[in-house]
């Protein structure tokens, strides 16, 4: 089976899992994003056909929400908080240090609040929140991700 056939089957399967659910589009897109790492044009087509929506409707939802990506990530993803509470504690420096260390090997995403404001500056990797980060720590995290190490 070709790669695109595998993808199609996976997406069909996800749609089937959500069959009968009320307003299933966001849950389906979350599953596709987590399974494939991004939501390809082919995925949009299949989902639209299955939910009896237009491609524009599905594409519009994909483009609205920052969680849904239309391209694969450059590497493993680290989300770094850029909101006020983290900034008050050196979040800007953490952000800059992360970018300097990543050099395109790790995908750095800005998030606006991880709800870890009393323990900032904060970042999140694979759903795990990390707190009280400084420049040195973020650099070693980024380096570990770039090398593919487990945290």
Partner 1 sequence: MKLFVSTDSSSLSIGAQAVIDSLSDAARRRNIPVDLVRTGSRGLFWLEPMIEYEHQGQRLAFGPVTPVEVPNILDALVTGNRQHPLNLGPVEELFKTQGQQRVNFRRCGEIAPTSWSDYLATGGSRGLLRALQIGPAAVIETVTRSGLRGRGGAGFPTGVKWRTTWHAAGATKYIVGNADEGDSGTFADRMLMEGDPLSLIEGMVIAGFAVGAEQGYIYLRSEYPHAQQTLQAAIDVAYTNALLGNNILASGQHFDLQIRIGAGAYICGEETALLESLEGKRGTVRYKPPLPAVHGVFGKPTVVNNVITLATVPAILAEGAEAYAAIGHDTSRGTLTVQLCGNIRHPGLYELPFGCTLGHVVESLGGGSASGRPIRAVQVGGPLGAYFPTTLFDTPLDYEAFAERSGMIGHGGIVVFDDTVDMAEQARLAMGFCALESCGKCTPCRIGAVRGVEVIERILTGCSSERERNLLLLRDLCQTMLDGSLCALGGLTPYPVLSALNHFPEDFARVAERPAS
Is 116 in contact with 106 (CB distance < 8 Å)? no
Site string for partner 1, 106-145 (x = CB under 8 A): -----xxxxxxxxxx-x-x--xxxxxx-------------
Size of the site for partner 1 (CB under 8 A): 42
Angstrom distance (rounded) from CA 140 to CA 116: 20
Specify burial of residue 22 (Cβ count, 10 A radius: 0-12, 13-18, 19+). exposed
The interface mask with partner 1, positions 45-84, x = CB under 8 A, is ---------------xx--xxxxx----------x-x-xx
Of the residues 8, 12, 49, 89, which one makes contact with partner 1 according to CB under 8 A: 89
Q: Which helix (H) or strand (E) holds 83?
A: none
Helix crossing, 135-147 with 91-102: angle to 10°?
30
To partner 1, the closest distance from the beta carbon of 8 in angstroms equals 22
Q: Does 146 bind partner 1 (CB under 8 A)?
A: no
CB of 119 to partner 1, least distance (A): 5
Pair 145, 81: CB distance under 8 Å: no
Cβ closer to partner 1: 113 or 139?
Answer: 113
Query: How many whole angstroms separate alpha carbon 1 and alpha carbon 110?
Result: 37
Residues that bind partner 1 (CB under 8 A): 22-27, 29-30, 60-61, 64-68, 79, 81, 83-89, 111-120, 122, 124, 127-132
């Amino acid at each position: 089976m070709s790669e695109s056939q595998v993808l199609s089957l996976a997406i069909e399967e996800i749609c089937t899992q959500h069959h009968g659910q009320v307003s299933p589009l966001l849950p389906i897109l979350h599953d596709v994003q987590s399974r494939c790492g991004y939501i390809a044009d082919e995925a949009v087509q299949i989902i639209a056909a299955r939910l009896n929506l237009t491609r524009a409707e599905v594409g519009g939802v994909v483009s609205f929400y920052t969680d849904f990506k239309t391209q694969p990530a450059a590497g493993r993803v680290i989300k770094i908080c850029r909101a006020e509470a983290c900034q008050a504690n050196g979040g800007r420096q953490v952000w800059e240090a992360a970018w300097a260390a990543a050099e395109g090997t790790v995908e750095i995403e800005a998030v606006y609040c991880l709800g870890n404001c009393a323990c900032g500056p904060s970042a999140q990797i694979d759903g795990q929140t990390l707190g009280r980060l400084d420049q040195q720590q973020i650099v070693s995290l980024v380096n570990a991700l770039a090398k593919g190490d487990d945290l």
